[in-house]
Structure 1
Amino acid sequence: MSALSLKDYRRITVKIGSALLVDRNKGLKRDWLASLADDIGALAANGAEILVVSSGAIALGRTMLGLGRRALKLEESQAAAAVGQIALAGAWAEALGHHDLTSGQILLTLGDTEERRRYLNARATISTLLKMKAVPVINENDTVATSEIRYGDNDRLAARVATMMGADLLVLLSDIDGLYTAPPAIDPNAEFIPVVERITPDIEAMAGAAASELSRGGMRTKLDAGKIATGAGTAMIITAGTRQSPLMAIERGERATLFRPSAHPVKGYKTWIAGQLEPAGRLTVDDGAVKALLSGKSLLPAGVRQVAGNFSRGDTVAILGPDSREIARGLVAYDAADAVRIAGLKTAEIEAVLGYEARSAMIHRDDLVVNGNGFEM
């Protein structure tokens, strides 16, 4: 495979993991950050718009506060994030400033991308920064996020940001140089995969679950990010960030895996639906409903066999086929209690059960996105 050229892309989201940016003993890796800023400066000078999703606040704060390697309580992690975020933002401002680039800090919580109004507001703010030739530096707001309301890893956050902003490339800088047929640390015979045309269940099976001590992400989360990104038309690259100037290393032909974007990406409003990270519930449907959805039709109550979750009307729910693979996501027209009552009923039977004139569709096709890959929930 010939070297990939980042110069072919006009809007690029770059995600940096904690272990790349922070040394657990020495703190921030300033020389490495300076080399990455050199790369960003070169791409910006070539006309590209760059968005950065930077982990590292908790890891940096942990080092600055002398908290060692022990497991942290939630409030300790949040305190470490508060300390580390200031230092992290300052370091990015300094590094990018050497290239006459202004950085703008954006701290997001899960609701900022999952709730439609806040999603649009975040998109408008970041768009304005890009118009002003600033580099948005984005991280999860770990000072307030809890296990119940968090992205859980910055790979998926980066994919959500990339699709929200219409980026044509997402680069995940990692401690591994791409995707292999098996985790190379475990299987010495694992083979490198330079290009992934589509993320299939077989591709997902290649992912190991391991992550480093300083980060929350592993190859599994990177493939989850890839499904979000490629489904919305954004190409994705996984490559090693451990080397100096990691973006220009891609240009030099260093090893990297390219995930090609979907030939039929979802756009606009449906991008927001498809990228929802935490569906509020699940609807399991029969084979007839699967065929109807794949042909572009709405989901009717008659095709629903099981309802799970505590959701409200307008929430995003996952639609599972009989084999428990997710086939679609959509905005449900009923709350969970009513959905349970009408599951399996014909449209003409719904009003008698609910006591009011009801909508014919459980999820209308305008509020529904079919997932071409499918994955186990």
Structure 2
Amino acid sequence: MTPDTEEKRIVIKIGSSSLTSKNGEVSRRKLEKLVAEVVRLKDDGHKVLLVSSGAVAAGYRKLGCLTRPKTLSEKQAAASIGQGLLIETYSDIFMSHGYVASQILITRSDFSDENRYNNARNTINVLLDRGIVPIVNENDTITMDFLRFGDNDTLSAKVAGLINADQLIILSDIDGLYDSDPRKNKGAKLLTKVNEITPEIEASAGEPGSAVGTGGMKSKIDAVKIAMASGISSFLGKSSTIGIIYDAVYKNALGTYFNPQENMENLNQKKQWIAFNSGPEGELTINHAAKEAIIKNQTNLNPSDIHSVTGRFRQGAVVKIFDVTGEEIGLGVVNYSSKALDQFINHTAADNENFSNAAIESEQLVCRLDTAVLAGV
């Protein structure tokens, strides 16, 4: 640890194109470069977690495919081969530096279930505290398309929130965020510091830059929004730049630094889970007065505030909250089931004496205070 630097928890997302050779095989040279930079950070006393793509890209040629598979079953078969090759190579290289790597395969359902979400956090915390380098990837071998995170950019942001990371580093095949697509506009300017994701920034996000990856600039911006809502600073830079990871941690790298606004409400662990991972089970429509109250004052949402209930859900479920015009207000954990709330709406006040609790307590409510809070839900 250098004298002027505190220990940090750092999540590094590395994409397929940054790990594989032109013919689709795992590039040991690229992995050695990546690991060497992680080792420098580890030697400085930092705790590092990798979110690594590359399983399908590493395995599809071993499956006998000449190009990246298109069907789900072939992708999953390729991932079952490639994931083993990938983690074996990582483990071997880290071990040569005296560090142990571990593999964690995650599905979206692991995050949507609060108990499994907490178990994942506890497991990763133990690994980090013991000096291990967790290597996280989506479990592509068994995950169906409708249960996927979509890309590892989103996964990396959610993992960063899961472990209360200090910094998220997203490596790509581009130097950072530009004010327009640099592949189409030679005059595009690199944005080195961003404190707010504006509609203009979102509009400037281009298409994927690599044939072997799944995420484009839009997915990276969405990931950054999740990280910023969780109070985590982020960096986006080019993976092939020498020393990019180490320099990014020490604020010396060429790329884009995203810093949460100081006056922005950061979501605690519970609200992060509600906002980004929970998977709402139903909907509540509330009246206008309740909407104004919970947005301005973050007050409880009471049963009397509810105009209608949609869907069937249990007590303790996460639901979406709308106003009567259909505008989404936020998310919350309900104290009553959909059946009980329907009974409240359809009965007289005398019949509702048992509804003494708030429908949603303010501590379990995530309002759409800004565009970042519900990004990626």
Structure 2-normalised TM-score?
0.85
Q: 1:237 to 1:282 in 2, by over 3 A?
A: farther
Matched AA of 1:370: C
Deviation at 1:362, TM superposition (A): 3.7
Q: Aligned partners of 1:77 and 1:308: how far apart in 2?
A: 37
Identify which of 120, 128, 132 aligns with 1:134.
132
Q: Aligned partners of 1:202 and 1:286: how far apart in 2?
A: 32
Contact 2:69 2:75 in 1 (8 A): no
Q: Aligned partners of 1:215 and 1:308: how far apart in 2?
A: 38
Q: 1:9 to 1:350 in 2, by over 3 A?
A: farther
Aligned to 1:293: 294
Aligned to 2:192: 194
What do residues 236-267 of structure 1 show as CA deviations (whole Å, max 9, x unaligned)? 11111133443135358442111113533122
Aligned to 1:316: 318
What do residues 264-287 of structure 1 show as CA deviations (whole Å, max 9, x unaligned)? 312232232233264444545554
Q: Secondary structure at the match of 1:172?
A: strand
Structure 1-normalised TM-score?
0.85
Contact 2:57 2:68 in 1 (8 A): no
Q: Aligned partners of 1:26 and 1:293: how far apart in 2?
A: 51
Q: Does residue 170 in structure 1 map to residue 155 in structure 2?
A: no
Q: 1:271 to 1:69 in 2, by over 3 A?
A: same
What do residues 162-219 of structure 1 show as CA deviations (whole Å, max 9, x unaligned)? 1111111010111222222233223444332222212344432332344533222122
Aligned to 2:67: 69
Matched AA of 1:373: D
Contact 1:330 1:363 in 2 (8 A): yes
Matched AA of 2:214: R
Identify which of 213, 227, 231 aligns with 2:225.
227
Q: Aligned partners of 1:205 and 1:161: how far apart in 2?
A: 26
Q: Secondary structure at the match of 2:73?
A: helix
Q: 1:249 to 1:48 in 2, by over 3 A?
A: closer
Q: Secondary structure at the match of 1:170?
A: strand
Aligned to 1:143: 141
Q: 1:325 to 1:59 in 2, by over 3 A?
A: farther
Q: Does residue 368 in structure 1 map to residue 365 in structure 2?
A: yes
Contact 1:36 1:246 in 2 (8 A): no
Contact 1:151 1:277 in 2 (8 A): no
Q: 1:235 to 1:70 in 2, by over 3 A?
A: closer
Contact 1:108 1:138 in 2 (8 A): yes
Q: 1:18 to 1:281 in 2, by over 3 A?
A: farther
Unaligned ranges ≥5, structure 2: none
Q: Aligned partners of 1:278 and 1:209: how far apart in 2?
A: 27
Identify which of 328, 331, 334 aligns with 1:332.
334
Deviation at 1:129, TM superposition (A): 0.9
Contact 2:77 2:141 in 1 (8 A): yes
Aligned to 1:3: none
Q: Secondary structure at the match of 2:292?
A: helix
Q: Secondary structure at the match of 2:146?
A: coil
Aligned to 1:156: 154
Aligned to 2:269: 268
Aligned to 2:46: 48
Q: Aligned partners of 2:198 and 2:7: how far apart in 1?
A: 25
Contact 1:298 1:364 in 2 (8 A): yes
Unaligned ranges ≥5, structure 1: 1-5
Q: Aligned partners of 2:291 and 2:8: how far apart in 1?
A: 37
Q: Aligned partners of 1:308 and 1:194: how far apart in 2?
A: 45
Aligned to 1:95: 93
Q: Does residue 255 in structure 1 map to residue 247 in structure 2?
A: no
- Give aligned-pair identity as a percent: 35
Matched AA of 1:329: L
Q: Secondary structure at the match of 1:239?
A: strand
Q: Aligned partners of 1:209 and 1:362: how far apart in 2?
A: 42
Q: Aligned partners of 1:163 and 1:60: how far apart in 2?
A: 28
Q: 1:72 to 1:236 in 2, by over 3 A?
A: same
Q: Secondary structure at the match of 2:301?
A: coil
Q: 1:338 to 1:122 in 2, by over 3 A?
A: same
Q: Secondary structure at the match of 2:126?
A: helix
Contact 1:228 1:274 in 2 (8 A): no
Q: Secondary structure at the match of 1:22?
A: coil
Q: 1:75 to 1:286 in 2, by over 3 A?
A: same
Q: 1:319 to 1:253 in 2, by over 3 A?
A: same
Q: Secondary structure at the match of 2:184?
A: coil
Contact 2:60 2:69 in 1 (8 A): no
Q: Aligned partners of 2:251 and 2:62: how far apart in 1?
A: 36
